[in-house]
A and B are shown apart, each in its own frame.
Chain A
Amino acid sequence: MKKHFVSIWFPYLTTDWLSIRRPALRQVPFVFAAPIHGRMLITAVNPLAKTQGVSTGMVVADAKAFVPGLEVFNDRPQLAIKLLKAIGFWCIRYTPIVALDGMDGLILDSSGCTHLWGGESTYLNMLKVRLKENGYHVQLALANTIGAAWAMARFTKESLILENDKQRKVLLTLPPAALRLEADTVRRLHKLGLKTIGSFMGMPQSVLRRRFGEELSLRLRQAFGQEEEFISPLKPLVPYEERLPCLEPICTATGIETALQRLLETLCKRLNGEGKGLREAVLTSHRVDGKILRISICTSKASAHIPHLFKLFALQIPKIEPELGIELFVLEALKVEKADSDQETLWAGTARLENKELSELLDRLTGKTGNCTICRYLPDEHYWPERATRQASFIGEQPNTVWPNDKPRPTRLLATPEPIEVTAPIPDYPPMVFRYKGAVHPVKKADGPERIEREWWIDAGEHRDYYAVEDDQGRRYWLFRSGHYEDGHPQRWYIHGFFA
């Protein structure tokens, strides 16, 4: 079978992507830019910006000088590859062998595929139309070699030549850059006046190799089909999903449990193999009458531990109403994270955060009572008491600061301070007596004030003067006065917490 390849070039890959997401940008010149050596350099431009003279490699400030309306977005270094991969996977419907080509193109091995779409030219057209429909600018070409297809996609208007002779002729008229050479080599060829491939094609190999190294002759041979070129095809991503079709509809809880068990076994086997664990999973039951039922679980620590996961699901199995029966179970891991494989411990662990039993217990409690009833708090670097702690997002999260213990803080902090009535000498002395929830507390001992100012970049308002006070029963409270004492204004006092 004769080989042929399609080269697809996306001249505006990343900017097209942004225009698709934000159609308003189609009318605006915009660029991506990244800081390089302390200067913002343009890494990608959209067509409109290009027509106004902006090009990649320019300094943003320069470009803005003459295109004042230029919008600048932060460059996302991985975006191009991610997009290419996604488009590549999409292309798999046209051929099984798709490969990434640099940062802005794809190579499709179209050999033996084109007849399915009614020949090379309709095949090419179809690809082009579909990609354009999606909003991408593309230039593509089909040729006998990868090199030729690449060159034609970028440097000619023709997009389909299969006869070797004609292809050769076209290639000879193209500039050296069409050979996928290093910029330095291309520049040197130009300086020497060798401005088309034809101008040096006829020179002896040894002469070229001495001056331009192996690269040039390799690229020449590849383009003209004298040397085969290999590509590494993309592999499709397999989602973490397991299916279990049932011969007989399942109606019993035991049946569901068995199905769940089997699904978990295959899924967890794969997860374990990849060194991963799941944080969220959903079990979908397709009923005979067409209804779909879902139950889901989440864990506080990535897990591929079958009994644990099973237990979590089991808590919810009663929610599934099989009615006439279930014909298909699908188990899907929605969130998968890297998990450290458990090593057998020699000594039973104490109740530490890494302890699996503890996190499994928490998961079970959460499963029973609903989310967010059990939280773990970590210190956060804020003076303002309400912001001095934050919720941990998962059980093992490490605090990024130590708990400050140099200032007295109550064991129990009220979420919102509650107003109290106070008798206190002015301007900043501790209260002598205060009334909270109807009860009067004469203050026997007091310490303070500790003056905490608002974080002005977050909110505005008055500072607080905190006092730790002890009443006649020996109970200790954390009180504060809001703002300075001012003549004519009643002082506003609050209780904010209780010491043990």
Chain B
Amino acid sequence: MSYSELQVTSNFSFLRGASHPEELVEQAAKWGYTAIALTDRNSFAGLVRAHVAAKKQGIRFIPACRLDLMDGPSLLAYPTDREAYGRLSTLLTTGNLRAEKGLCHLYKTDVYTYSQGIKFIVVPPDKLTDTFQLDPTFVRHVEEYREAFGQELYLGATRTYQGDDAKMLFRLEQLGRRLTVPMVALGDVHYHDPSRRELQDILTCIREKCTIHTAGFRLHPNAERYLKPIDEMRRLFRQYPEAIRYTEEIAAACHFSLDNLQYVYPEELTSEGRTPQEELVQLTWKGAEEKLGEDDLKKFSQNIADELAFIERKNYASYFLTVHDYVRFAREKGILCQGRGSAANSVVCYCLGITSVSPAKTKLLFARFMSDARDEPPDIDVDFEHERREEVIQYIYEKYGRERAAIVATVTQERTKGALRDVGKAMGLSMDALARLSNTIGSHWDDLLDVKRFAEQGFNPQDPHFRKILELAEQLKGFPRQLGQHTGGFVITQGKLHELCPIMNARMEDRTCLEWNKDDLEALGFLKVDVLGLGMLTCLRKAFDLVKQHYHKELSLGNIPQDDTEVYEMISHADTLGVFQIESRAQMSMLPRLRPKDFYDLVIEVAIVRPGPIQGDMVHPYLRRRNEEEPVDYPSEEIEGILERTLGVPLFQEQAMEIAIVAAGFTPAEADELRRSMATFKAKGEVSRFRKKMVDGMVAKGYTEDFASRVFRQLEGFGSYGFPESHAASFALLVYDSCWLKCHYPEVFAAALLNSQPMGFYQPAQIIIDARKHGVTVLPADINHSQWDYTLEAQPGERCALRLGFRQIKGLGEEDMHLLVQARGSGYTSIISLVDVGISLTAMEKLADADAFCSLGFDRRQALWEVSALADRPIALFEGQPSASLREEQIALPLMPHGEQVLQDYAATSLSLKAHPVSFLREKLNLLHVVPTGQLSTLKNGMFVKVCGLITVRQRPATSKGVLFITIEDETGFANLVVWQDLFDRYRREILQSKLLLVEGQLQIEGEVIHVVVKRCFNLNGLLRGLAATGEEDRVNDIFYKGRNFK
């Protein structure tokens, strides 16, 4: 006689179950179960994972759930067919939408409404009454359920070793016989193995917000809630063999599988009764005529026809139509957007308007990304301006309705740090110890558990209690903690979405999302569309608006002049601060070596400075070949076809995969599986198996082992930080556009960038310095001239000047400043008039601090002096009378020295237009033989130099093996420092604490790329303090930016 486990709680019942669905299914398969159900509390979130695992293990999976009701005993629900599954999903949706995120409020009557076709098991009570009876309310409820569900109702029975098991089973059986409700055996499984009980106790503590020492009876008394072998279950229910048999009856009745779910696209995508394919064909050709010139149309008509035929074969027409639909909406609303992803570079996408740049320009052909061989769903991510993406999202909800469109979920997982913290807290560590524990993985630079650091923080790694914490944290790592919403993935269906998967409220207002994440959807073959936000698009739109307003030119993503040599010249000199993607340190030091000349060079530039090519050691061979220091050769002809455009060096994800297929004999599906297995880090063993297969396959075909393992290494790198060619190409478009703006309209670009902050690597101060270097006049913030945003002001000459916006002044509210601007009229003439408008005194003081009263003739001190007297101004009856301060004698305030002015500018606005702080220290620095950064290029390679400046960025990329890159800034420019790991350990304090850093090191000059390899570091914060007035020195530390830390 067989047995199926029907009550299984996985860790998708957050903080209750202590095993992953996969673990439970695997254990069930090991015990020889033929079927297993998953009954998480009011949730379907774990179903797909269990379903996939069960398929792999070859056992049957029953999708189900446990309904925790507000007004009755819990029920386990098992849908028998597709319709019943839809009803159960709808039921959960009803409960979800009624409650706030993460909760589900269900009542008995709801269940009665949707009960058809579902089998139910009543969850038995925990204990009997004092007189060893079942609780009468429970009995009443079972009677009521019997009435409602009839033959579909069963009574659950569990043996938990509570001492009264025998009595409990007897009473349940008695009740079941009386009401003719069969008793069925349940395991109440919470974990796959008894050893997980400790973790389950910890989860209970986290849930109940207590420690293991105070949890008391909230824990389970024993470890019996594990998945038991079938024989053991039979033994436990030996007196009631029927109870075991009924599990089989239920399992047999539930013939619904998640595989039965059919995904159907919405219908309203087509018009005039056309099929999706017909509609797509019509739209494409219509677009082609409008967008392509006659020549191009001829040239590309075959491509278009091929692509359309391919889309028809794959039945992807609806997918393209969906994307086309909301892109069209965004265009109408003037929201900038751009598609990327494997399918986005097709001519069809261009004709549909999903991408703006003609494929003729990019030479990227669809066939390269999509082929019949690769069975991968099409992927079009569309980026929108990040500030206006919500409009697109609400459009989708409105058009398809909340019943048919929802955002995909993301499962938030426990990270190392969080897991350690949660476990530590539950184990009763003090706040202080917890903080220290977090410190062991504190900085975002180290992720792994490092025994040395534990010891440093005063923990004894040998202590058993502490070891237990580490062990449990390790187990907890990767557990789902909550369901969040995906950044922009949507699922849109024809039928009601809630019949496919329960829908829940998201934390954000007006959002609803699914319970499944993108992996789950992919496993079931649902297609999602991505609506993403991109800061650079916001910046570009703002720039286009400014150009239109001040220079009367209509610019858009599609009409920026391409192939501008001036732009490429600028890029080649690494003059790319603030532009898209190629503004980072690593990118900037690559640009002068690569010297991009055309668009495809930019594509390569974007893709090459990535962990994949760097780890695969592809960068230097490529550079050597490009600079003709090394001959370009190909291991074979078939590979030449793949690697031709990158000079024989694989740089893109597709290339590595194609090589696996062509040269190592992988099937396309295998190649794809290979990429996935690397992306998820899950199957460590799998990777080495693939490695062998790949290297052996290639060696067998006559390639060198060195080449083979190099390709494999690169594939490894791509797995985690993949950058396929199509993505790189889409990004390169934005790179070019932002560079073009920076090159031709530096003031517009700076204003747009500053108004889109925070964004990118650089602080406003650096953006301003860079703009001035490009000849932009920058004007200070002023109450009579500034707006909230940065603005452009016409001035004599060709170019506009850039005016600082109030947004740059710390501590000012946007509302307050809008009020100020609105009431400005022809300009303020006195300080009092601002108060009359309703500007608060604190805001006035901030404005005075920022020296924004210059147009009234006050410097910051005078302004502050006047503002501080305002609290005392005549009000009510005396309003309008001259203030007493007018009558008081003039007091001469001490004049502020220049250096302090700059310091105060930094304090109020994080930047100064008057001078660079370091310029005041130059004399002292000269005595120390410090070289201004601007002069570094005139020195010789290999010289020892001293440089000094404010730290702007510290960056320690994952691929740099502990090497830290620092950028410092002085009044003459930037210097790039390289700090090796051991040196960082030695000078940790100086590097992390300094605002003003002096370093001694060796100059490395390679063409235009200049580095200083640091040998010694000194903290010169003391000199900065000298700029401040006496008594204010301590504030200096807060005034200058901390330097941003990047990974």
A residues at B contact (CB < 8 Å): 33, 35, 40, 52-53, 55, 60-62, 64-69, 71-74, 175-177, 186, 188, 190-195, 199, 203-204, 206-207, 210-212, 380-383, 401, 404-408, 447-453, 456-457, 463, 465-466, 468
Contact = CB atoms under 8 A, between A and B. Distances in A.
Contacts of A191: 849, 860-861, 864, 904
B164 interface: yes
Chain B contact residues (Cβ within 8 angstroms of A): what range?
35 or more
B468 A457 contact: yes
A188, A406, A408, A463 — which one has the most chain B CB atoms within 10 A of its CB? A406
B640 interface: no
A316 B221 CA distance: 49
Contacts of B891: 203, 207
B638 to A, nearest CB: 53
Interface string B56-100: 000000000000000000000000000000000000000000000
B815 interface: no
A448 B163 contact: yes
Contacts of A203: 891
B683 interface: no
Interface in B458-489: 458, 465, 468
7 nearest A-B residue pairs (beta carbon)? A381-B216, A450-B163, A66-B989, A451-B161, A193-B894, A175-B1031, A211-B868
Contacts of B1034: 55
A195 B861 contact: no
B163, B198, B430, B1019 — which one has the most chain A CB atoms within 10 A of its CB? B163
Contacts, number: 147
Contacts of A65: 442-443, 988, 992-993
Contact of A64 (B439, B864, B904): B439
Nearest to B235: A427
Contacts of A66: 988-990, 992-993
Interface string B874-900: 000000000011001101011110000
A235 to B, nearest CB: 35
B993 A192 contact: no
Contact of A383 (B221, B432, B865, B884): B221
Nearest to B127: A406
B135 to A, nearest CB: 12
A407 B163 contact: yes
8 contacts: A53-B1019, A61-B435, A193-B861, A193-B1029, A195-B1030, A211-B868, A447-B163, A447-B166
Nearest to B885: A210
B219 to A, nearest CB: 8
B458 A188 contact: no
Given A61-B435, A210-B872, A453-B197, A68 B988 contact: yes
A365 to B, nearest CB: 33
Nearest to B1042: A62
Interface in B140-162: 161-162
Nearest to A188: B868
A447 B198 CA distance: 28
Given A65-B988, A191-B849, 12 more contacts: A66-B990, A186-B1031, A191-B860, A193-B896, A193-B1029, A204-B889, A210-B884, A381-B214, A406-B127, A408-B163, A450-B161, A451-B224
Contacts of A177: 1031
Contacts of B509: none
Nearest to A384: B221
A210 B869 CA distance: 6
A65 B869 CA distance: 44
Contact of A457 (B162, B212, B884): B212
Given A191-B849, A212-B868, A447-B164, A452 B221 contact: yes
Nearest to B873: A210
Nearest to B1028: A190
Contacts of A190: 1029, 1031-1032
A407 B163 CA distance: 8
B839 interface: no
A315 to B, nearest CB: 40
B519 interface: no
A431 B868 CA distance: 90
A405 B131 CA distance: 12
A492 to B, nearest CB: 18
B427 interface: yes
B197 A404 contact: no
A125 to B, nearest CB: 29
Contact of A451 (B221, B427, B435, B988): B221
Interface in B402-436: 427, 430-432, 435-436
A211 B221 contact: no
Contact of A175 (B221, B436, B1019, B1030): B1030
A195 to B, nearest CB: 5
Nearest to A52: B989
B854 interface: no
Contact of A381 (B217, B871, B888, B904): B217
